Structure 1
Amino acid sequence: MGERRKCVLYYMLVRSLTRSLWNTVRVEKRTLASEPSKPQPVEKDGVDAVQLEALDRDICLVVDEKDNFLGTATKRECHKVGDDGKILLHRAFSVFLFNKRGDMLLQRRSSQKVTYPDYYSNACCSHPLYLDDKAEDVITAARRRLHHELGIPLDHMDPELFTFMTRVHYHDPGDGVFGEHEIDHVLFFQGDVKVKPNSNEISEYCFVPKSEFNAYLPTLEGPITPWFNMIRRHRLKLWWDNLHRLKELAEPDKIHKFMTENTK
């Protein structure tokens, strides 16, 4: 057998063993939500009753391309794909959460979610709302949702520990019924916090070390959300490599436009 063929076979064997090893590690590292997801009552449009309530209760902030507040619309109105493919542009946030070792929390959205059910994503992605006749501050909204989705106590999330990295304007048609068109405020938070996920929001989570992240992604049992994939491709490595000096890299006044890719 030629040396070249030997090398190719050796490479294929190593790759197969590596994939097998990662499948084993994946099972050990992933943690189910605090309670197993239970079948939820389904109402109109085939939407889970709890998620349906939020669709019509939550009032989101409609903005222009410079992130200026224009008015309000329900969560449903902000995510409904029009006949022309258009979706209302609204304000959102995405939190990337790291423990003190620098491992990143990766979560899987529950099957009950209206947009991108069963997709993997960063720690928390949601919207500031219009509350008490005013627009909610983004960090206040992030703390509220981290408490709701991941069960993190509010007093464990000092607002000063959040770093507002930048804003990203993106559009994704989702499943053609509900999609996204957002100016996404990207927030980083680092700290050791207690996590107790809400199973209606999150089905599983894990903390992934930076050195293992690229090898871990192909083992996931579903796709990753377009906004997470976009940030992963364009900025995540730079920011993750520099958790110790994030404020030097932050660009809160900028609004980037990145291409989305619905791939692993």
Structure 2
Amino acid sequence: MTAHAHDNFAVVSSDSDQLILVNEHDEELGLADKLSCHDGQGILHRAFSVLLFNERGEMLIQKRAEVKRLWGGFWSNSCCSHPREGESMTYAAQRRMSEELGLEAKHLTYLYKFQYHAQFGDIGAEHELCSVFIGRCDEQAKPNPHEISEVRWLSPEALEHELETNPDAFTPWFKLEWSEIQNKFKAQLEAEIAGLV
């Protein structure tokens, strides 16, 4: 994977971005702009989430920039976005990590795919078929302020504590992903952290 050029102050997303519409079987149905995909109840589209861990087993979490239309100011997983038409999910995930965090994971492991719907009041909704990846990264993040206001590395124990005591501070998709990983994918996560994959 070739590293993508990183400009910390580049605007890397807009409401006119074309997202890939899919059905529940992840079959492509066409394209629609990002604004339309997140209006009202949302339109089901393809997405991905990345959870990055360092050698100590800590996870990189990000606070979404306040200017974001949906869940601005909420804590979430390391990186999430949408693939462009013609991109593989892995390539899209690496591209977005570079754009948002100035990072490149040496390896990403695909875990699973899930469909969810989350309503953000009357502002809009996320309605995504989301592919979840984990990866190992020991570099220092360089957050793009258009996307991220803050980043932190947290141990699983500290993250669990925050999720239990202040769940409303986190995005709904991240809470679903973390629960699923803890329940079904701990062995893969431990192998990723140990550098065995």
With normalisation by structure 1, the TM-score equals: 0.64
Instruction: Determine helix, strand or coil for the equivalent of 1:142.
Output: helix
Q: Matches of 1:244 and 1:222 in 2, distance apart?
A: 27
**Distance change (3 Å), C-alpha of 1:204 and 1:222:** farther
> How do 1:123-202 and structure 2 match up within 5 A?
123-130=78-85, 135-152=86-103, 156-158=104-106, 161-202=107-148
Whether 1:117 aligns to 2:63 is: no
Q: Give the whole-Å Cα distance in 1 for the aligned partners of 2:134 and 2:75.
A: 18
2:4 corresponds in structure 1 to none
Identity within the alignment, %? 36
Within the alignment, does 1:94 sit opposite 2:49 as a pair?
yes
SS at match of 2:176: helix
Assess, with a 3 A threshold, how the Cα gap between structure 1 residues 92 and 174 changes in structure 2: closer, same or farther. Answer: same
Structure 2: gaps of 5 or more residues: 1-7, 193-197
* Aligned residues of 1:118 and 1:222 also touching (Cα < 8 A): no
CA deviations 1:106-164 (Å, max 9, x no partner) are 1110101111100110001100012xxxx211111111111111111xxx433xx1111
1:174 CA displacement: 1.5
**How many Å apart are 1:180 and its aligned residue?**
0.6
Question: Separation in 1 of the partners of 2:55 and 2:71?
Answer: 29
Partner of 2:116: helix, strand, or coil? Answer: strand
Post-superposition offset of 1:175: 2.6
Which has the larger helix fraction? 1
Partner residue in 1 for 2:26: 67
Letter in 2 for 1:194: Q
User: What per-residue deviation string (whole Å, max 9, x for no partner) do you get for residues 156-212 of structure 1?
Assistant: 433xx1111000100112132221100000010112123100111111111111232
How far residue 240 of structure 1 moved from its aligned partner, in angstroms, is 4.4
Q: Name the structure 2 match of 1:79.
A: 38
Query: In structure 1, what is the Cα distance between the partners aligned to 2:167 and 2:151?
Result: 13
* Counterpart Cα distance in 1 of 2:129 and 2:123: 20
d(CA) in 2 for partners of 1:218, 1:70: 38
Mark the runs of 5 or more structure 1 residues left unpaired by the alignment.
Answer: 1-34, 36-49, 247-264
Match of 2:14 in 1: 54
Larger RCO (alpha carbons 8 Å, 6+ apart)? 2
Partner of 1:106: 61
What is the CA-CA distance between 1:223 and the residue it aligns to? 1.7
CA distance in 2, matches of 1:64, 1:221: 30
C-alpha contact 2:105 2:136 (8 A) present in aligned 1: no
Residues 35-50 of structure 1 aligned to structure 2 (within 5 Å): none
- CA apart distance, 1:221: 9.8
Amino acid at match of 1:121: S
In structure 2, the CA distance between the partners of 1:99 and 1:245, relative to structure 1 (3 Å rule), is closer
Q: Secondary structure at the match of 2:48?
A: strand
Equivalences, count: 184
Q: Are the counterparts in 1 of residues 70 and 123 from structure 2 also a CA contact under 8 Å?
A: no
CA separation of 1:241 and 1:107: change in aligned 2, threshold 3 A: farther
SS at match of 1:62: strand
SS of structure 2 residue aligned to 1:111: coil
